[in-house]
C-alpha cells in the first residue's frame, strides 16, 4: 500500500464484493460496489472532486471562492470536505428533513447550511440554489444536476473500475438521483459491450411532496436530457420505502452496512435477478449506514421505521 499525497487521492477504486448469498436466483450473481469506502463516505465524493477540478481548470474557482450547491446531503458532504482542504467557502442548500447526521457532517467540514422547506424536497432546494446563484453572480454554482463533470466522473472512474474488475457484467443497476452514475457508467459499459442492460431504480419517498402544485413544476435533470438518458436506460423501476428498509437490513447478513438508498437499489437488483435466467448484476452501495443510525432503520420496528423514513430525504 502506497503513501497517498492527500485524502482526495483516496477517492475512487472502491471494492466490488460478491453478495450473491442474497440473490433469489442461483444462476445470477450480484456484486456490489462499496462507495461508502470513499473518504467522504459516499459515491458523491467522485463528482465533488470532478466538478471542483473542472471549475479550477476553467479558472472559475480560486482560493477564497464561494460555492453554492443544493444537496440532500452526500454531494454537499463531499464538496465540503474538499472545499475545506482547498480554501473555498461552501454554502449548501439543504432540505430541512434530512437525517441529523447529514447536517452534522456538513458542520464538521465547515459548510454553511441554507435551509429549504422539507415539504418541497430536492426540487425546492434546487430552485432556491438557482435563485441565490442568480442573485450572486460571483458565487460558483457547480449545479450537479446539470454539470457534465458529474457523469464524466463515472464515465472515467466508476465505469472503467467495474469493467476492469468484472468484464462478465450483464446488468448494471443503480439509483436515479442526478442520473450521473447511470449515465456515466451506463455509457461506458455499453460502449464496451452493447448487450449490457442498464437499469434505474427510483428513490423511495422521502417527504411526501404535496408541495407540488402542478405538473409544470416537475423536474428532469438537464444532464439526463443532454445525455439521452431515456435512450440509454433499458428500464426504470420504483421501489417503496418498506422494501428499501427490508433490503437495507438484509445486507447486514452479508456484512454490508449501507444507507437506505442502497437497500432500494438492492431491492431493484433482486427483482431483476429473479426475472432473468442467468447473469452477473453489478450494483452500487451509495454510502455506509452511519448517517442513518438516527432513523433506527436496523433496530426499530419496521412499521415505525417506514413511517419515519417517509419524513426524511435520503437519496
Partner 1 sequence: MSVSVNLPTVLRVHAGGTKTVEAEGATVGEALRDLEAKYPGLVGQVINDEGALHKFVNVYVNDDDVRYLSSLDTPLGPSDEISILPAVAGGAVDQSGFPGEAA
By CB under 8 A, is residue 236 in contact with partner 1? Answer: yes
What SS3 state is found at 276?
coil
Mark the segment that binds partner 1 (CB under 8 A) among 117-125, 135-143, 164-172, 283-291: 117-125
State which of residues 217, 226, 253, 300 lies at the interface with partner 1 (CB under 8 A).
217
Choose among 189, 178, 152, 179: nearest CA to 281.
Answer: 189
Closest distance of CB 74 from partner 1, Å: 10
Mark the segment that binds partner 1 (CB under 8 A) among 28-36, 44-52, 163-171, 203-211: 203-211
> Is there a catalytic annotation at residue 261?
yes
* Pick 60 or 310: Cβ nearer partner 1: 310
State which of residues 78, 221, 227, 289 lies at the interface with partner 1 (CB under 8 A).
221
By CB under 8 A, is residue 226 in contact with partner 1? Answer: no
Closest distance of CB 219 from partner 1, Å: 5
By CB under 8 A, is residue 95 in contact with partner 1? Answer: yes
> Is there a catalytic annotation at residue 44?
yes
By CB under 8 A, is residue 313 in contact with partner 1? Answer: yes
Interface of this chain with partner 1, residues 50 to 89, rule: CB under 8 A? 72
Q: Are 93 and 128 in contact (CB under 8 A)?
A: yes
State which of residues 37, 99, 178, 248 lies at the interface with partner 1 (CB under 8 A).
178
By CB under 8 A, is residue 315 in contact with partner 1? Answer: yes
Q: What share of the chain is helix, strand, coil (3-state, %, to 5)?
A: 50, 20, 35
* Pick 7 or 132: Cβ nearer partner 1: 132
State which of residues 233, 270, 273, 282 lies at the interface with partner 1 (CB under 8 A).
233
User: What residues are labeled active site?
Assistant: 44, 261
Residues that bind partner 1 (CB under 8 A): 72, 95, 120-123, 125-126, 145, 175-179, 202-210, 212-221, 230, 233-241, 271, 307, 310, 313-315
Amino acid at each position: 500500500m502506497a503513501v497517498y499525497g492527500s485524502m482526495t487521492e483516496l477517492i475512487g477504486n472502491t471494492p466490488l464484493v460478491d453478495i450473491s448469498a442474497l440473490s433469489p436466483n442461483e444462476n445470477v450473481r450480484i456484486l456490489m460496489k462499496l462507495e461508502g469506502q470513499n473518504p467522504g463516505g459516499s459515491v458523491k465524493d467522485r463528482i465533488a472532486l470532478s466538478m471542483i477540478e473542472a471549475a479550477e481548470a476553467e479558472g472559475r474557482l480560486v482560493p477564497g471562492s464561494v460555492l453554492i450547491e443544493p444537496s440532500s446531503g452526500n454531494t454537499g458532504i463531499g464538496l465540503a470536505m474538499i472545499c475545506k482542504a482547498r480554501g473555498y467557502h461552501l454554502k449548501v442548500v439543504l432540505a430541512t428533513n434530512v437525517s441529523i447526521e447529514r447536517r452534522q457532517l456538513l458542520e464538521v467540514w465547515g459548510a454553511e447550511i441554507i435551509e429549504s422547506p422539507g415539504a418541497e424536497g430536492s426540487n425546492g432546494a434546487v430552485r432556491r440554489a438557482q435563485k441565490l446563484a442568480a442573485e450572486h453572480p460571483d458565487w460558483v454554482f457547480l449545479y450537479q444536476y446539470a454539470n457534465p463533470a458529474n457523469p464524466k466522473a463515472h464515465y472515467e472512474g466508476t465505469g472503467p473500475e467495474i469493467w476492469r474488475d468484472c468484464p462478465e457484467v450483464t446488468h448494471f443497476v443503480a439509483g436515479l438521483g442526478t442520473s450521473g452514475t447511470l449515465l456515466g457508467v451506463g455509457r461506458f459499459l455499453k460502449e464496451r459491450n452493447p448487450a449490457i442492460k442498464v437499469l434505474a431504480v427510483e428513490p423511495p419517498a422521502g417527504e411526501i411532496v404535496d408541495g407540488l402544485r402542478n405538473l409544470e413544476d416537475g423536474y428532469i435533470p438537464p444532464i439526463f436530457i443532454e445525455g439521452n438518458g431515456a435512450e440509454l436506460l433499458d428500464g426504470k423501476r420504483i421501489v417503496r420505502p418498506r422494501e428499501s428498509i427490508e433490503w437495507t437490513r438484509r445486507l447486514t447478513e452479508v456484512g454490508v452496512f449501507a444507507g437506505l438508498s442502497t437497500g432500494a437499489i438492492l431491492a431493484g437488483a433482486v427483482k431483476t435477478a429473479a426475472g432473468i435466467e442467468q447473469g452477473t448484476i453489478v450494483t452500487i452501495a451509495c454510502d455506509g449506514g452511519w448517517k442513518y443510525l438516527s432513523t433506527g432503520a436496523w433496530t426499530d420496528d419496521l412499521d415505525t421505521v417506514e413511517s419515519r423514513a417517509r419524513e426524511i430525504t435520503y437519496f
